Amino acid sequence: MKDLRCPLCCQPLLQNTQGLACANRHQFDRAKEGYFNLLPVQNKHSREPGDAKEQLQARRQFLQAGFFDPLKMRLQELLPATTSTLLDIGCGEGYFTAGFSDALPQAQIYGIDIAKAGVRLAAKTAKDKTGLTYCVASSFDLPLADNSMDVVTRIYAPSKDAELCRVIKPGGKLVIVAPGENHLLGLRARIYKEVRPHPQPMTPEGFAVVEHHRLGSNLRVNEPDICAALLAMTPFAWRLAPELRDSILASELRDTLDFTINVYSKN
Ligand SMILES: C[S@@+](CC[C@H](N)C(=O)[O-])C[C@H]1O[C@@H](n2cnc3c(N)ncnc32)[C@H](O)[C@@H]1O
Ligand SMILES: [Zn+2]
C-alpha cells in the first residue's frame, strides 16, 4: 500500500497495527469493514457527501443482477496486462473495482469514493480479497503519491484534470466511461419534456486520446424490484411523479444501454 499519502501533509502513509500513519503521526484507523477514511473534515462540504446510501444500495441491487456485466467485461479486456497499480475513482459500492481486481490478481487496486456508505458496502464485500484497498476520499484531492498509478478508471464520476495527471505514471492510462447518446433514452423520454444528449468527456489536460469505444445493448427488465432499483440509482428518482413511477413499474421495461469508453494516455 506504499502508494497512499497523507491527506493532511502529503507524506507517505505506512501501515501500523491500527491502520495507517505518516511520519508526522497523522493516524487513520482501519474501519471494521477494512476501509480507511482519508477525507479530512475540512474537505467535507456536507455531512454525507456523494451518493446517498439508498442510491448506492439500489445500484448494488441492479448491478448484481448482471445488466452491466458486458461493460465490466469490456473494461477488464482493456486493462494492460502489465498493470501493477490501478485506481478506480468514484468507485461507489465497488462493482467495477472488484471486477478490476479479479482481472488483475497481482495488481494493487484502490477504490475511492467521497460517499462513506459506498466505500463501506464495497469494503464489506471485498474483505477476503488481497490487493484491494478502499478509501473514503475526494477525487479532487487524491490521497495518492505522484506518478504512482499505471491506470486510473472513472466510471460516471467527477474528477479534476490536475489530480489525474499528478497521480498517473508517465505513459499510464486513464479510462473514462460515460453514458452515450442513447443511454436509457426511452426512460428519459418518459420523464423529461426535452431530452438532452449526455455531455461527452473532454480530453483531460496532459493526456492524449488513444482509444474510443461504444458499447450498446438492449435492456429488458421484467422484475419490478430490479426496475425500481434502476429508477432509484439514477437522478430520475428525484423527479418522478408517483403515477408515472407506478406506470413504469407496471410493465416490462424495454430500453437501450449505451456507453462510451475513452482511453487516454498521459503525455
Ligand atoms: C453514478 S455513481 C458511479 C459509481 C461507480 N463508479 C459505478 O459505476 O458503479 C458516482 C459516484 O461518484 C461519487 N462521487 C461524487 N463526487 C465525488 C468526489 N468528489 N470524489 C469521489 N467520489 C465522488 C458518488 O458518491 C458516487 O458513488
Ligand atoms: Zn500527515
The 10s digit of each residue's pLDDT in 70-118 is 999 999 999 999 999 999 999 999 999 999 999 999 999 999 999 999 9
Q: Which residues fall within 8 angstroms of residue 205, CB to CB, at 6 or more apart?
A: 161, 162, 165
90 CA distance to ligand 1 middle (Å): 3
Q: Is residue 26 part of a domain?
A: no
Per-residue confidence (pLDDT) for residue 82, from 0 to 100: 97
Nearest to 90 by CA among 32, 153, 42: 153
Nearest ligand to the C-alpha of residue 50?
Answer: 1
Relative to the alpha carbon of 5, which ligand is closest? 2
Give pLDDT, residue 239. 73
**pLDDT of 238 higher than 80:** no
Distance between CA atoms of 120 and 56, rounded to whole angstroms?
10
Give me the domain span that covers residue 62: 35-266
- For residue 207, tell me if it sits in a domain: yes
Q: Which ligand is nearest to the CA of 59?
A: 1
For residues 134 and 37, give the distance between their C-alpha atoms in angstroms, rounded to a whole number. 9
CATH number, domain at 221? 3.40.50.150
Specify if 105 maps to a domain: yes
Q: What are phi and psi of 36, to 5 degrees?
A: -120, 140
Asked if the structure places residue 14 within a domain, the reply is no
In which residue are the cell numbers 506504499 written? 2
Give the model's pLDDT for residue 36: 98
- Could you tell me if residue 23 is inside a domain? no
Contact status, residue 30 vs residue 36, Cβ threshold 8 Å: yes
β-strands 207-221, 168-179: how paired? unpaired
**132-136 β-sheet, strand order:** 36-37, 132-136, 108-113, 85-89, 149-155, 168-179, 253-266, 207-221
Assess whether pLDDT exceeds 80 at residue 242. yes
Query: Among 116, 201, 97, which residue's Cα sits nearest to residue 159?
Result: 201
How far is residue 16's CA from residue 39's CA, in Å, rounded to a whole number? 19
Looking at the CA of residue 112, tell me the nearest atom of ligand 1. 21
- For the chain, what is the mean pLDDT? 94
Residues 54/46, Cβ–Cβ less than 8 Å: no
Taking every pair of C-alpha atoms in the chain, what is the biggest distance, in angstroms?
59
Which is nearest to 187 in space by CA: 261, 109, 258, 87? 258
- Cβ neighbors of 55 (< 8 A, separation 6 or more) are 232, 233, 237
Q: Ligand 1 pocket test: which of 61, 71, 139 has the largest number of ligand atoms within 8 Å of its C-beta?
A: 139
Strand partners, 168: 149
Confirm whether 171 is domain-assigned. Answer: yes
Range scoring the smallest mean pLDDT among 134-143, 212-221, 238-247 = 238-247
Is 60 a domain residue? yes
Quote the pLDDT of residue 222: 93
N- to C-terminal Cα separation, the chain:
26
Q: What is the CB < 6 Å shell around ligand 1? A: 50-51, 59, 90-92, 95-96, 113-115, 118, 138-140, 155-158
- d(Cα 100, Cα 120) in Å, to the nearest integer? 18
Count the domains in the chain. Answer: 1
- Does 9 reside within a domain? no
Residue found under cell 505513459: 171
